[in-house]
Structure 1
């Protein structure tokens, strides 16, 4: 995908948990079908390269455009939410601020649960989806690779993601705070994506495997995960029956409409319902029954423990590593901007060498030219001097050496 490639045209527009609740975030969430439509339509909105990150905590568009409104209009064209509401709740970042933001997101510094490493896998999937459809460019490719390097450095060099804290883990903590024991509790997990899988593994360590049933829209996927963990799997058609007989239900799907509503429950039911989906897949009206306890991702984010306090102490180290990787990317970007100048200098030096040098120097042409270019490139990386000044200085210095 060709088009704008300057850092000045690089934007991130988005909403997240800081200002938008789960209902509002849900109106801007995208699934695979919507993502495909956004990428297809991007050119019509003047967006030259992009990828979209949509998770339970955020929807963000990273891309190149003359104005951020082009990215906003593109997103809102393919979601339920309106552009005016989005602008009221959104953050818009450009250039260096946009670069800093993507590094922070990948590090887990901007996550609802500090240091949540699940975001990296979600970013990889989102980026691969756009790249495989030819919707990225060399700037984004290099940037994203550097972002992943930064994330790996932080994971190996700090304890920012130390301990066990995630949305799925917080869900288990929430359950434990509301029951005395898992004995004889029937557990239903709806959805076998990354969060659903984590919830399965966490609960399998606390409850009997014969107490847990997994249901997924794609039955085969649920069956394979159930076999791996020694759990039960059931078809989607059996959902109503399992809702009635389950004491604990965790929903982590990407359905466009709620999968559990008031009609699935009745007065006298005593159940813990946890909705890890965006948009919400459990209708909030189920709370009209006194025995129903409902929590969503915003409720779970308030769970705090010693692990989170330890992670907070690692933030300065993580930011130092991010700074190093941003500088690395900036150096690459500046040199890319200088490529036309370096090419012009190389051509000029070869021409001068042909005119001025004797036969011996003709043989050393390539070595001398490359040495001059290396010197110039080094100065362009480390000095504030304009490329034109470096061009003149390099030509002048080369002439002095050649004539001498």
Structure 2
């Protein structure tokens, strides 16, 4: 029968296309976060921009197809497609100070739908060290942007990140999970407010004026009611520009030791792989509160041994609890409902995307059938291509609907051919 011949041809084309379809069971996330590691250990797996760029370039050597890495003060997580999660772990650890053994001993691994759900919870602020902290959203967005520039993100991952961003925005707009101001940078302000008297008389130094440092600086100005703040950055122009914008002071990096000696409060928001403030710079000076917001830690740990220094890091800041956090916890069920809705939408898109190569293959073959001598012989009312195209599209639309509703594919190949041949192009 002609239908059988045509069907065999379609099956051959379909098989070829199916082999190139993304398999969601090969999508993994492997990571560590604040739940099982302290700031020092997380620092061993933090990535600098240069390390991240190298990691992305080397991904194919580890058998990793699509990937991006989220590296923040609370977590380091690598997402991507691979045959085994170990490939992602090896790729990550190839660029970190921490070893593969250290990572595996503390890491969590999720695959497929569970990995997708995890990303949505992270982006929604539900997995933050301080519940509802949305600074992570910008960090994920930047990580994905960098990966796309290196051609390590394609249709699946780009769509996934965009859907996550939409869910995060919906949570922020439709729940009170972000009510109040609770983040690591704001927790630093709270700590200062609770432990330092007469703030206006204190000299504050902020080292690091990148995005995180900038947010910290604005919180200092907005909530402490002081402008006795000196900004220092390796790129002096950045510190000077922010100081001018907010009416503060700035100083070159060469003056760091001098400004440290004068300061009462020092905040560090740099991303250096090595400490930027050493014990010897703090020794023999007046009492100081030093808050290290960096991962890895950018204040030498031994500085805590000095009798004149109180050293606080992100883990200690995250323990702060107040009424704002209690209100946020009540909003968690609403946030999870939003995540469920958006992940379902993404999975619908994924299921239909799996069918696209098949539908295209069937459509191509139906067009070939329409112009084949055998089909023309069987169809005495054979008509022009324009009308045939309309008929073919109707058959494809019907096939797509059935595939979506019942998630069955095989029987629809023959059915589509039979429908086209049986009805002809009248």
Query: When the two structures are superposed, what TM-score results if normalisation uses the length of structure 1?
Result: 0.94
387, 411, 417: which is aligned to 1:389?
Answer: 411
| Equivalent residue runs for 1:2-401 within 5 Å | 5-207=22-224, 209-267=226-284, 269-354=286-371, 355=375, 356=379, 358-359=381-382, 363-385=386-408, 387-401=409-423
Contact map agreement 1:170 1:301 (CA 8 A) in 2 = yes
Q: Call closer, same or farther: CA 1:4–1:249 in 2, change over 3 Å.
A: farther
Contact map agreement 1:209 1:231 (CA 8 A) in 2 = no
Contact map agreement 2:282 2:309 (CA 8 A) in 1 = no
Paired with 1:381 and 1:128, the residues of 2 have a C-alpha distance of 31
Contact map agreement 1:188 1:214 (CA 8 A) in 2 = yes
Contact map agreement 2:176 2:331 (CA 8 A) in 1 = yes
Q: Per-residue displacement from partner, 1:307-334 (whole Å, max 9, x unpaired)? A: 1111111111111111121121112211
Paired with 1:156 and 1:108, the residues of 2 have a C-alpha distance of 13
Q: Call closer, same or farther: CA 1:357–1:99 in 2, change over 3 Å.
A: farther
- RMSD across aligned positions (CA): 1.9
Equivalent position of 1:402 in the other structure: 424
Paired with 1:51 and 1:362, the residues of 2 have a C-alpha distance of 46
Contact map agreement 2:32 2:42 (CA 8 A) in 1 = yes
Paired with 2:135 and 2:301, the residues of 1 have a C-alpha distance of 26
Paired with 2:223 and 2:23, the residues of 1 have a C-alpha distance of 52
Contact map agreement 1:4 1:48 (CA 8 A) in 2 = no
Give 1:400 shift: 3.9
Q: Call closer, same or farther: CA 1:261–1:372 in 2, change over 3 Å.
A: same
Q: Which moved more, 1:291-300 or 1:200-209?
A: 200-209
Give 1:261 shift: 2.2
Equivalent position of 2:5 in the other structure: none
Q: Which moved more, 1:108-117 or 1:283-292?
A: 283-292
Paired with 2:311 and 2:319, the residues of 1 have a C-alpha distance of 14
Give 1:267 shift: 4.8
Larger radius of gyration: 2
**Partner SS for 1:364:** helix
**Partner SS for 2:199:** coil
Paired with 1:230 and 1:323, the residues of 2 have a C-alpha distance of 45
Give 1:389 shift: 1.4
Contact map agreement 2:367 2:392 (CA 8 A) in 1 = yes
- Where in structure 1 do 4 or more consecutive aligned residues deviate above 4 Å? 206-210, 351-354, 359-363
Q: Which has the higher contact order (CA 8 A, sep 6+)?
A: 2
Q: Call closer, same or farther: CA 1:208–1:314 in 2, change over 3 Å.
A: closer
**Partner SS for 1:325:** helix
Query: When the two structures are superposed, what TM-score results if normalisation uses the length of structure 2?
Result: 0.90
Paired with 1:254 and 1:357, the residues of 2 have a C-alpha distance of 75
Q: Which moved more, 1:79-88 or 1:130-139?
A: 130-139
